[in-house]
Every structure is written in C-alpha cells, then in structure tokens.
Amino acid sequence: MPEGRLMRSLLYVPADQDRFIAKAHLRGADAVILDLEDSVAEDRKDFARSNLGEAVKSLRQGSGAVAVRINSGVEADVAAALGAGVDLLVFPKANSVAAVDELDTMMRRHGGEEIPVLGTIESPAGVLDAAAICRHPRLQAINLGSEDFALELGGMPDPDVLRVPKLLVHYAAKAAGKRSLGLLRSIADYADMEAIAEAAREARRHGFDGATCVHPSAVPLLNAAFAPSVAEIEWARAVMTTEGTVSLDGKMIDKPLRDRAAAILRQV
C-alpha cells in the first residue's frame, strides 16, 4: 500500500458474508478490511479464509485498498491473505515488538516482504511499550483496540477511560512517523450521524489520519472529516505561492507554516 495513499476511512466487512462483500467496493471507503477475526464465528473461519480470493477480486472493482484482518498468531490467515493479493494486513494484538517480529517472520515465509501492516495495540502493556512497537519497520499505521484494551484493563470502554491510552498510542505513532487511526470517543449508535462526524473532526484536530468503521453510513462522514476543508486548501495554496519570509493575513510565513501548507496539499 503506497505511503501516500489516503486512509481516512477503513470499512470492516466479514470475510464470510458475500452479500456485504458484493457491495463493499461501492461504499467509497479508502480501504475495505475483510475480517477474519471478531466478526467471523469459529466454525466459519475455514470458509472465510477460502473465500478471500473471490472477495479480493470483487473489491478490486473499486478504487480503494484491500486489507485483511487476521487472527493473531494464525499463520493460515497470513498465508490466505497474502495469497489473495491484499494491499495491507491488519494485525490485532500487536502488543509487543516480539509479536510484530513473529508476524514479520510469517509474512516473509509467504512472500509478503513488501506488504505493510496496520497494528492494533490492545493491552495496557502494549500502550506502555507503544513507542518501541510503533518504530517497527513492518508497521505503516497503528490504532488502539478499544474493547479488548478495556477488557484487559478491567475497565469499561468509555470515552473517559480510553482517551488517555488512545492519545498515548497516537503520540507514539506520530513520533515514529507512522499513520495514526482512531476516534477519541466511541459511537454506539451508527444512526447518530452528527456524533460520528463531530468525533471524526475532533480526531483530525488532534492529528489522527483516519478511522475504521463497521457500518457504511460512517464512510462519507470520515472521508469529509479527515480531508482538508476548502478554506484550508485555499490558505495552503496562498502560503505556497508566497516567496521568502513574508506576512499573510497578519502571520509570518516561515518554514513551519510552509510545511503545514505542504502537508495539507498532499491530502488533496
């Protein structure tokens, strides 16, 4: 998956549900994640793996990236995903450097040397070791798995419980130059469009690059929230057309502002 490709919205689809897969490429997500983990019952795992080839072909009708979320430590999932030709692996329980090393070894055994990984940290130990985990060269993006983290913590997956660990993982990802995905609040009701949109706008203000979702109704909201506004684009273009250190709207245009403007225009 190219470094410059947008990751504003990543839509989860169960890998064993053809009726959802058939329309997933029409949803407008920057990536569709075929899920082999939580959304697939244990007695459907083998079928889901065998279904990946056709599922990936179906998703290639769209322009988004194709990813697979594997079950942590299950090499059969890695082999099936790489054999199907995915752009990205989603790795749950990326709670230590050793766990990512183990995945890297599996991927190399199956010809996946160049395939990037979205690592999901899901434990308190992983949060405390996030800086080292995020520096792993295999990882392109990182997020926090809210439910499993709260379970291991012995707490509730409430916004006030999750905000600090999400920000710690976010800071570690950014310090390592990696993409950071997620929302700082949980949205239980996917019919509450304004709540989803505001949560996404809040996350972008903190520097998050995008978020995952389980319902297609969230995709356009994430795409809009994690994209620069018309005003931001106009400002960035004005900054980039100035020469030297000059003033624009009363602010001195120096290197940090030029860098910010360039970052905005890379998202257009």
Write down the pLDDT at residue 268.
Answer: 67
Return all residues near 136 (Cβ < 8 A) that are at least 6 apart: 97, 100, 101, 104, 119
The alpha helices in the chain, defined as continuous H runs, are 18-24, 45-50, 52-59, 75-84, 97-109, 124-128, 130-134, 146-153, 159-175, 193-205, 219-225, 230-241, 255-266
243 assigned ligand-binding residue: no
Write down the pLDDT at residue 180.
Answer: 98
Write down the pLDDT at residue 111.
Answer: 96
The pLDDT averaged over each successive group of 10 residues in the chain (268 residues) is: 80 98 98 97 97 98 97 96 98 98 98 97 98 98 96 93 97 98 82 90 96 95 88 71 66 71 70
Write down the pLDDT at residue 95.
Answer: 98
Rg, C-alpha atoms of the chain: 19
Write down the pLDDT at residue 244.
Answer: 62
122 assigned ligand-binding residue: yes
189 assigned ligand-binding residue: no
3-state secondary structure 3-49: CCCCCCEEEEEECCCHHHHHHHCCCCCCEEEEECCCCCCHHHHHHHH
Write down the pLDDT at residue 250.
Answer: 63
Write down the pLDDT at residue 192.
Answer: 86
Residue 119 phi, psi dihedral angles, 5° rounding: -95, 135
**For residue 39, how many C-alpha atoms fall within 13 Å in the half-sphere facing its CB?**
18
Catalogue all structural domains in the chain, each as residue range(s) with its CATH number. Answer: 9-227 (3.20.20.60), 228-268 (no CATH)
Among 188, 207, 187, 189, residue whose Cα is nearest residue 198:
187
Q: In what order do the strands lie in the sheet with 9-14?
A: 179-180, 139-144, 117-121, 88-91, 65-69, 31-35, 9-14, 211-213
